Amino acid sequence: MSQESTSLSFIATPANAVNGEITVPGDKSVSHRSIMFGALAEGTTHISGFLPGQDCLATMNSFKAMGIEIEGPDAEQNVTVYGKGLHGLTAPEKPLDIGNSGTSIRLLSGILAGQRFNASMAGDSSLNKRPMGRVITPLKQMGANIDAAVDGTPPVVTQALGQDQQLNAIHYDLPMASAQVKSCVLLAGMYASGTTSVTEPGITRDHTERMLTAFGYPVTVEGNKISIEGGHKLKACDIQVPGDISSATFFMVAGLIAKEGQITIKNVGMNPTRIGAINILKQMNGDLTVMNERMAGGEPVADILVKSSNLQGIDIDERDVPLAIDEFPAIFIAAACATGTTRLRGAEELRVKESDRIQAMADGLTILDINCTVYDDGIDIIGGQITSGTVDSQDDHRIAMSFAISSLRATGAVTILDCDNVATSFPNFVALANQVGLSLNQE
224 or 285: whose CB is closer to ligand S3P? 224
Task: Say whether residue 124 binds ligand S3P (CB under 6 A).
Answer: no
Q: Is 180 annotated as a binding residue?
A: yes
- 145 in Cβ contact with 172 (< 8 Å): no
What's the rounded Cα separation, in Å, for the pair 386 and 381? 12
Burial of 76 (0-12, 13-18, 19+ CB in 10 A): exposed
Residue 326 is among the residues annotated as catalytic for this protein = yes
Classified as helix, coil or strand, 402 is helix
Burial of 85 (0-12, 13-18, 19+ CB in 10 A): middle
Total number of residues that touch ligand S3P (CB under 6 A): 10
Letter for the amino acid at 271? N
Q: Is 130 annotated as a binding residue?
A: yes
The gap between the terminal CA atoms of the chain, to the nearest Å, is 25
What's the rounded Cα separation, in Å, for the pair 318 and 350? 13
Helices (H), 322-417: 328-336, 357-367, 397-406
- 136 in Cβ contact with 148 (< 8 Å): yes
Mask 205-244, x = binds ligand S3P (CB under 6 A)?
x---------------------------------------
Catalytic residue among 206, 326, 380, 420: 326
Q: Is 178 annotated as a binding residue?
A: yes
Instruction: Please identify which residue in 104, 115, 180, 394 interacts with ligand S3P, judged by CB under 6 A.
Output: 180
Residue 183: CB minimum distance to ligand S3P, A: 6
Q: In degrees rounded to 5, what are phi and psi of residue 120?
A: -145, 145
143 or 189: whose CB is closer to ligand S3P? 189
Task: Say whether residue 183 binds ligand S3P (CB under 6 A).
Answer: yes
Residues 26-45 that bind ligand S3P (CB under 6 A): 29
- The DSSP output letter for 260 is B
Strand partners, 71: 80
Instruction: Please identify which residue in 42, 287, 349, 363 interacts with ligand S3P, judged by CB under 6 A.
Output: 349
Q: Is 94 annotated as a binding residue?
A: no
Instruction: Please identify which residue in 127, 325, 338, 358 interacts with ligand S3P, judged by CB under 6 A.
Output: 325
Q: Is 28 annotated as a binding residue?
A: yes
- 183 in Cβ contact with 355 (< 8 Å): no
Q: Is 205 annotated as a binding residue?
A: no
Q: Which residues are annotated as a binding site for 3-phosphoshikimate?
A: 28-29, 33, 178, 180, 326, 353
Would you please indicate which residues are annotated as catalytic (active-site) residues?
Answer: 326
Positions that interact with ligand S3P (CB under 6 A): 29, 103, 178-180, 183, 205, 325-326, 349
Summarize the annotated binding site as residue ranges: 28-29, 33, 102, 130, 178, 180, 326, 353, 357, 398
